Amino acid sequence: MDFGLSEEQEMIQKAARDFAAKAVAPRARELDEKSEWPTDLVQQMADLGFLGIAIPDELGGGGADYVSYALAMIEISKACASTGVIMSVNNSLVCDPIYKFGSAEQHEKFLKPLASGEKLGCFGLTEPSSGSDASDMQTVAVQEGDEWVINGAKNWITNGPHADTCVVFCCTDRSQGARGTTAFIIEKGTPGYEPQPADHKLGIHAAHSCTLFFEGCRIPDANRLGEVGGGFKIAMNTLDGGRIGIAAQALGIAEAAYEKAVQYSKERKAFGQPLAKKQAIQFKIADMAIDLAAARALILKAAVLKEKARTEKVRHTSESAMAKLYASEMATRVTHQALQVFGGYGYSKEYDMERHYRDARITEIYEGTSEIMRIVIGANALKGA
Ligand SMILES: Cc1cc2nc3c(=O)[nH]c(=O)nc-3n(C[C@H](O)[C@H](O)[C@H](O)COP(=O)(O)OP(=O)(O)OC[C@H]3O[C@@H](n4cnc5c(N)ncnc54)[C@H](O)[C@@H]3O)c2cc1C
**pLDDT value at position 119?**
98
**What is the Cα–Cα distance from 143 to 172, expressed in whole angstroms?**
8
Q: Do β-strands 181-187 and 224-225 pair in parallel, antiparallel, or remain unpaired? A: antiparallel
3 state DSSP class of 185 = strand
**Please, where in the chain does CATH 2.40.110.10 lie?**
122-231
**Please, where in the chain does CATH 1.20.140.10 lie?**
236-383
Measuring CA to CA, how many Å separate 259 from each of 75, 248, 254, 275, 283?
Answer: 13, 16, 9, 14, 15
Contacts of 76 (CB under 8 A, 6+ apart): 16, 19, 20, 24, 45, 50, 83, 84, 87, 252
| Beta carbon of 371 within 6 Å of any ligand 1 atom | yes
Whether residue 319 lies in the annotated active site = no
User: Are the beta carbons of 224 and 262 closer than 8 angstroms?
Assistant: no
Ligand 1 atom nearest to 372, measured from its CA: 47
Ligand 1 centroid to residue 291 C-alpha, Å:
25
Q: Which CATH class is domain 7-120?
A: mainly alpha
pTM of the model: 0.98
Q: Which CATH architecture has domain 122-231?
A: Beta Barrel (2.40)
Q: Would you write out the chain's pLDDT as a tens digit for each of its 385 residues? A: 667 999 999 999 999 999 999 999 999 999 999 999 999 999 999 999 999 999 999 999 999 999 999 999 999 999 999 999 999 999 999 999 999 999 999 999 999 999 999 999 999 999 999 999 999 999 999 999 999 999 999 999 999 999 999 999 999 999 999 999 999 999 999 999 999 999 999 999 999 999 999 999 999 999 999 999 999 999 999 999 999 999 999 999 999 999 999 999 999 999 999 999 999 999 999 999 999 999 999 999 999 999 999 999 999 999 999 999 999 999 999 999 999 999 999 999 999 999 999 999 999 999 999 999 999 999 999 998 6
| Beta carbon of 201 within 6 Å of any ligand 1 atom | yes
| Beta carbon of 52 within 6 Å of any ligand 1 atom | no
| Beta carbon of 193 within 6 Å of any ligand 1 atom | no
CA angle at residue 52 from 48 to 53, to 5 degrees?
A: 65
User: Are the beta carbons of 380 and 317 closer than 8 angstroms?
Assistant: yes
**Please, where in the chain does CATH 1.10.540.10 lie?**
7-120
Phi, psi of 55 (to 5 degrees): -90, 140
| Beta carbon of 55 within 6 Å of any ligand 1 atom | no
User: Which residue in 75, 307, 319, 367 is the catalytic one?
Assistant: 367
Ligand 1 centroid to residue 366 C-alpha, Å:
6
Residue type for position 301: K
Ligand 1 atom nearest to 369, measured from its CA: 47
- Determine the residue of 196, 364, 365, 370 to mutate for testing ligand 1's pocket, defined as the one with the most ligand atoms within 8 A of the Cβ atom: 365
- Fold entry, domain 236-383: Butyryl-CoA Dehydrogenase, subunit A; domain 3 (1.20.140)
Each residue's pLDDT tens digit, 168-178: 999 999 999 99
